[in-house]
A = this chain, B = another copy of it.
Amino acid sequence: MIYCSHCGSDAVEWKVPADDNRPRHCCNSCGMVHYINPRVIVGTLPYLDDKVLLCKRAIEPRKGYWTLPAGFMENGESSEEGALRETREEAHANVAIDDLYCVHDIPEINQVYLMYLGRLTDTDFGPGPESTEVELFSEEEIPWAEMAFPVMVENLRAYFEDRKSGNYRLHRGVIYKKDWEKLRARSRDKE
């Protein structure tokens, strides 16, 4: 933030406001404090029989890598509505939601992931504008080393473990950058 969105002044300073305990974008001209908070990413883990649906990313970041359909939650929608919207947009896929399945925080990039488990209701899927390919993969077929984001590797790992036991439960956790390489290494080991 360079200019105050309230008064247009360039007197915006990164400082701790009165009665607060952490720095914010503060306008020294009009006094407005501009808060920036974490964003929510919503999506689904779509499955059918022993396979899950992945999208190959057509856009940066991680263009050309695979991921689950997900994106920023929008104002005015519930997290489940957002998850279904992203699934339709990125994979043209329709799923029937079972339940909220994974809740992950990535504090270093100010993101919270709410991922829903859902069964594909048909196989009329295909790439939306943000994907180049959309495909079903069994556990053995998943391109583990070509996954775009560690958080989605965690989602898939949870799913295939639960599938073995038949006991699907909510998974949650915190992902730190220092663990990303470990997660990537574990992904490569799976291949």
> In the complex, what distance in Å separates the CA atom of A161 from the CA atom of B22?
38
Shortest CB-to-CB span from A83 to chain B, Å, is 11
Q: Would B114 and A36 count as touching, CB distance under 8 A? A: no
Q: Would A79 and B5 count as touching, CB distance under 8 A? A: no
Q: Would A100 and B170 count as touching, CB distance under 8 A? A: yes
> In the complex, what distance in Å separates the CA atom of A183 from the CA atom of B119?
32
Q: Would B40 and A110 count as touching, CB distance under 8 A? A: no
List B contacts of A38 (CB < 8 A). Answer: 40, 73-75
Q: Would B79 and A112 count as touching, CB distance under 8 A? A: yes
Q: Would B10 and A2 count as touching, CB distance under 8 A? A: no
Q: Give how many A residues have a beta carbon under 8 Å from the other chain's beta carbons.
A: 42
| CB neighbors of B among A92-121 (8 A) | 99-100, 103, 105, 107-108, 110, 112, 114
Q: Would B3 and A4 count as touching, CB distance under 8 A? A: yes
* Besides A37-B75, A79-B112, 20 other A-B contacts (C-beta < 8 A): A2-B7, A3-B3, A3-B4, A3-B5, A5-B5, A37-B39, A37-B40, A38-B40, A38-B73, A38-B75, A73-B112, A75-B110, A78-B105, A78-B174, A81-B107, A99-B172, A100-B170, A100-B172, A112-B114, A170-B170
